[in-house]
């Protein structure tokens, strides 16, 4: 079975569709029984942004990364790992059970696809910008917003180009500011020493590899100037945190307080430790991400610049391989491209979103950018996806 | 170069045994599409270093391809023919470096959104092959054993949750001399069915005493090799222009002699051990990952009759704050995390065993080392049941057979 070994397939495409549907149905039924959500109808739209000036509207996106499966999250046996999502967030959200990613399942390229609304094909491991305009560029160009109004906080050096595409009609100077908290921390702590290089080696797929930085990432001297955070305070606080995603959320808090961008994109990555093959570490990553998502939601509700005018989106960039695919190794990777690794979910909360509704129709992850466009009143003209009618 | 241009001398650089095998099938290769053939050659080129079960599978597959009529060949490979390849792929030396070709092909399929079509083509081919060459039922029912939880004094969370629905859950197994008893069972099976590479013992720590009829791999014994591989990975990854894909290719090309192996007189096992560390992700760092991946690869490749895998504590993953404050300390162990890893690993071992021919007759035992908890899965014990009767591990094994 030479080709079976080559690409390690598990099932034919026709049965993949069936699997996806079954998967979504299970998730929906569980959410309805466990979290008391009502089944939504496509006739129900969002609640528009009544009472909230469009100009003051804010959107925060969290990618629940890097990839978690249903059986460790929304399936009955997985719910113990996401108590915050289950108890706190889902009852306040509109939840979509069947979000399919038809693109390349590498974290950088998939996140770039989420941010452009186009299935990007750039090299996952190279320091390259997306080829299509990002949500940040549409937002800033159409609405004439300054660079301080769109930010990305990402864990890995590989994400330093995600804020701005190479598209000739957009690109240069129109993108988001990008903060790589681990990069900042390394700079803050090592001060020219090389002992902390291991902090930069944060790509779990290739743990010994750290891509070269290129682009206009946030530099250490801007900590104080923009985030009003001294290097000493940053360093001291970082030493109390247990993971890169915790550091990201710490930076997010500063950013929300000091800059209050209207479009904020947070990429979580701790879960991707699964690539090392230790199941307990993967579960720890999911539990931490669950807690951090709730923290960000609390910040949104408590920060005056955000409370009452912010929509939060939480979604994984993709899933992980199923246990049933002989070509994969279960939770460890996302290499088979099977139905389970492609099918995820989306949760929307806050302004303009109905609470406690679940939809199980199929949608694609590239629908996110046009949806944000419809919400904030810019046109994601080159995106492949479509606005999610239930939210706009 | 395309398959139709192949000649017997195209394979001159293949290892001796592989060259002999290939000689009879050049005509069949010429009829195959380029989207398929390198995947097959990737297996053929390693023929000299394959386990007996793998060699037999390659031989049968080649014989089947040779026997197909022109019309059948068209039917079998039509979907592969429709996969669009790039000129860059066609220019690669896919005859002598088929693994690198397959890696590039994989990237190409993702990028051009042809992965689903390829999966369908591959699945259909596998189905046809399966029908043409029914899998060989093993000479004796397989037995898999997983031993987890080394070093844990007490644990109150439920264990074996994924395995229990498939077998009988024992809560009062007598743990005394448990590992020795299990290794005796493996040795007895090795004596009864003396087939090369049919009886394995994989230890995620230091191996216990075992019968010479058993093939053994342990994390501890491979420590020098792991150190060399890690050092090489580090030094290569620091070279300018070295990306993860290039690093992976380089690791895949490492040979046992390059890494200081080759003294055991068993080139097949040497090559297998190198691949565990150069192709497995995390196997160089975490012993639980090593044990699970070794079991997976042993089952997939050697298709053993008996496999005992013992998970041992892995090193603790330090949280970021500790990484920032402590330097160069010897790694601590994480027995509790390793128990959770081993629990999932035992489930994966069972799943992988059940993918082999003869699954309906196979048995599997998972045991919490030095404790009374075990799960036995086999055709004769009822599924999803629980027993609180006091029993020895030998009793449980006898009930399974």
Per-residue confidence (pLDDT) for residue A16, from 0 to 100: 44
Interface contact B243-A125, CB threshold 8 A? yes
Supply the pTM of this predicted model.
0.91
Q: What is the mean pLDDT of residues B21-35?
A: 96
**Nearest CA to CA, how far is B212 from chain A (Å)?**
30
Strands (E) located in B177-214: 199-203
- Contact residues for B157 (Cβ-Cβ < 8 A; gap 6+): none
Domain contains A181:
yes
Beta bridge partners of A265: A61, A152
Q: Report the number of distinct structural domains present in chain A.
A: 1
Nearest to B341 among A11, A203, A279 (CB): A279
Q: In chain A, pLDDT over 90 holds for what percent of residues?
A: 60
Q: How confident is the model at residue A334 (pLDDT cuts 50, 70, 90)?
A: very high
Q: What is the pLDDT of residues A195-231, one digit of tens each?
A: 555 555 555 555 444 455 554 456 788 888 899 999 8
Scanning every residue of chain A, which has its alpha carbon at the shortest distance from the alpha carbon of B235? A208
Per-residue confidence (pLDDT) for residue A220, from 0 to 100: 81
Domain contains A288:
yes
Q: What is the pLDDT of residues A107-142, one digit of tens each?
A: 889 999 999 999 998 877 777 899 999 999 999 999
Domain contains A388:
no
Higher pLDDT: A188 or A32? It is A188
Q: In chain B, pLDDT over 90 holds for what percent of residues?
A: 81
Q: What is the pLDDT of residues A65-82, one digit of tens each?
A: 878 998 999 988 999 999
Beta bridge partners of A228: none
Torsion sign (Cα): B246, B248, B253, B258: positive
**Residues from chain B contacting residue A208 (CB–CB below 8 Å):** 233-234, 237, 247
Per-residue confidence (pLDDT) for residue A339, from 0 to 100: 87
Domain contains A346:
yes
Q: In chain B, pLDDT over 70 holds for what percent of residues?
A: 96
* Closest by CA position to A252, among listed A261, A243, A242: A261
Nearest to A277 among B122, B289, B351 (CB): B289
**Mean pLDDT lowest for which of A93-97, B309-313, B321-325?**
B321-325
Q: What is the mean pLDDT of residues B161-171?
A: 98
Per-residue confidence (pLDDT) for residue A205, from 0 to 100: 58
Q: What is the pLDDT of residues B89-134, one digit of tens each?
A: 999 999 999 999 998 998 899 888 898 899 899 999 999 999 999 8
Domain contains A381:
no
- Res. A41: pLDDT tops 70: no
Interface contact B123-A125, CB threshold 8 A? no
B243 touches chain A (CB under 8 A): yes
Domain contains A386:
no
Peptide bond into B245 cis (omega under 30): no
Nearest to B125 among A3, A283, A326 (CB): A3
Domain contains A229:
yes
Decide: A336 and A353 in contact? Cβ < 8 Å. Answer: no
Strands (E) located in chain A: 38-39, 58-63, 93-100, 150-153, 177-179, 263-267, 310-315, 343-350, 357-364
Interface contact B244-A126, CB threshold 8 A? no
Torsion sign (Cα): A179, A183, A185, A191: negative
How does strand B374-377 pair with strand B363-368? antiparallel
B152 touches chain A (CB under 8 A): no
Q: Assign residue A243 the CATH number of its domain.
A: 3.40.720.10
Interface contact B120-A13, CB threshold 8 A? yes
Nearest to A242 among B248, B321, B345 (CB): B321
Domain containing residue A163: 13-376
Q: What is the pLDDT of residues B196-240, one digit of tens each?
A: 999 999 999 999 999 999 999 999 999 999 989 888 887 887 777
Higher pLDDT: B16 or A218? It is B16
Domain contains A6:
no
CA distances for A322 relative to A20, A87, A124, A130, A339, angstroms: 12, 26, 22, 29, 8
* Closest by CA position to B298, among listed B201, B188, B187, B162: B201
Scanning every residue of chain A, which has its alpha carbon at the shortest distance from the alpha carbon of B336? A280
The DSSP code sequence of A159-191 is GTTTTS---TTS-TTSS-EEE-HHHHHHHHHHT
Q: What is the mean pLDDT of residues B357-373?
A: 97
**Residues from chain B contacting residue A242 (CB–CB below 8 Å):** 319-321
**Residues from chain A contacting residue B280 (CB–CB below 8 Å):** 277
Query: A84 is written with which tokens?
Result: 């915050």
CA A158 – CA A163 distance, rounded (Å): 12
Phi-psi region of A67 (alpha: psi -120 to 50; beta: other; left: phi over 0): left
């Amino acid at each position: 079975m030479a080709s079976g070994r080559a690409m390690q397939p598990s099932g034919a495409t026709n049965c993949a569709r069936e699997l996806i549907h079954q998967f979504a149905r299970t998730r929906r039924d569980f959410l309805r029984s466990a979290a008391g959500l009502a089944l939504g109808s496509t006739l129900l739209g969002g609640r528009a942004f009544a009472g909230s000036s469009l100009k003051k509207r804010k959107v925060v996106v969290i990618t629940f990364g890097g990839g978690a499966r249903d059986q460790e999250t929304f399936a009955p046996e997985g719910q113990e790992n996401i108590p915050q999502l289950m108890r706190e967030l889902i009852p306040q959200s509109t939840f979509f059970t069947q979000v399919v990613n038809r693109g390349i399942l590498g974290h950088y390229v998939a996140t770039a696809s989420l941010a452009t609304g186009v299935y990007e094909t750039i090299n996952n491991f190279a320091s390259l910008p997306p080829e299509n305009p990002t949500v940040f560029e549409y937002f800033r160009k159409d609405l004439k917003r300054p660079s301080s109004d769109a930010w990305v906080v990402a864990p890995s050096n590989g994400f330093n180009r995600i804020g701005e595409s190479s598209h000739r009609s957009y690109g240069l100077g129109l993108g988001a500011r990008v903060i790589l908290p681990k990069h900042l921390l390394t700079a803050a702590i090592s001060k020219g020493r090389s002992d902390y290089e291991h902090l930069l080696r944060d790509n779990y797929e290739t743990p010994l590899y750290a891509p070269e930085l290129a682009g206009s990432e946030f530099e250490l001297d801007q900590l104080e100037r923009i985030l009003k955070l001294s290097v000493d305070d940053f360093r001291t606080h970082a030493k109390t945190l247990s993971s890169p995603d915790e550091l990201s959320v710490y930076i997010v808090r500063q950013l929300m307080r000091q800059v209050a961008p209207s479009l904020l994109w947070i990429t979580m990555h701790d879960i991707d430790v699964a690539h090392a093959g230790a199941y307990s570490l993967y579960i720890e990553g999911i539990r931490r991400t669950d807690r951090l998502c709730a923290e960000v939601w609390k910040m949104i509700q408590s920060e005056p610049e955000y409370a009452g005018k912010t929509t939060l989106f939480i979604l994984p960039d993709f899933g992980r391989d199923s246990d049933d695919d002989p070509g994969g190794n279960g939770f460890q990777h996302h290499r088979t491209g099977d139905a389970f690794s492609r099918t995820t979910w989306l949760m929307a909360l806050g302004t303009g979103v109905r609470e406690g509704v679940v939809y199980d129709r199929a949608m694609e992850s590239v629908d996110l950018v046009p949806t944000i466009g419809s919400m904030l009143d810019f046109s994601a003209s080159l995106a492949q996806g479509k606005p999610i009618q239930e939210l706009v | 170069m395309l398959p139709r241009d192949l000649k017997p001398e195209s394979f001159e650089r293949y290892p001796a045994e592989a060259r002999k095998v290939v000689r009879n099938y050049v005509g069949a290769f010429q009829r195959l599409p380029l989207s398929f053939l390198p995947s097959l050659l990737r297996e053929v080129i390693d023929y000299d270093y394959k386990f007996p079960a793998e060699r037999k599978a390659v031989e049968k597959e080649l014989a089947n391809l040779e026997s197909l009529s022109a019309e059948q060949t068209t039917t079998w490979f039509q979907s592969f023919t429709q996969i669009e390849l790039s000129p860059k792929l066609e220019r690669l030396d896919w005859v002598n470096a088929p693994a690198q070709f397959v890696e590039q092909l994989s990237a190409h399929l993702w990028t051009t959104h042809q992965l689903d079509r390829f999966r369908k083509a591959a699945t259909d081919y596998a189905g046809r092959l399966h029908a043409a060459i029914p899998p060989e039922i093993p000479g004796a029912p397989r037995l898999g054993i997983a031993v987890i939880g080394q070093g844990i004094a007490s644990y109150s969370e439920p264990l074996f949750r994924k395995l229990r629905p498939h077998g009988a859950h024992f809560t009062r197994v007598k743990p005394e001399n448990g590992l020795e008893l299990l290794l005796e069972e493996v040795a007895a099976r090795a004596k009864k069915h003396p087939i090369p590479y049919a009886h394995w013992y994989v230890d995620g720590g230091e191996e216990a005493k075992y019968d010479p009829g058993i093939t053994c791999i342990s994390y501890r014994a491979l420590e020098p090799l792991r150190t060399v591989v890690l050092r090489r990975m580090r030094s290569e990854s620091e070279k300018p222009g070295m990306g993860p894909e290039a690093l992976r290719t380089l690791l895949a090309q490492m040979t046992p002699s390059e890494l200081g192996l080759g003294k055991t007189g068993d080139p097949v096992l040497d090559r297998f051990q190198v691949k565990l560390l150069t192709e497995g992700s995390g196997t160089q760092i975490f012993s639980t990952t090593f044990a699970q991946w070794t079991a997976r690869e042993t089952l997939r490749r050697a298709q053993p009759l008996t496999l005992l895998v013992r998970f041992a504590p892995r090193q603790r993953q330090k949280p970021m704050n500790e990484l920032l404050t402590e330097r160069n300390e010897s790694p601590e162990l994480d027995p509790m995390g390793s128990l959770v890893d081993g629990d999932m690993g035992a489930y994966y071992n069972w799943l992988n065993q059940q993918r082999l021919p003869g699954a309906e007759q196979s048995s599997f035992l998972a045991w919490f080392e030095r404790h009374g908890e075990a799960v036995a899965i086999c055709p004769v014990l009822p599924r999803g049941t629980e027993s609180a009767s006091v029993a020895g591990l030998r009793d449980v094994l006898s009930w399974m057979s």
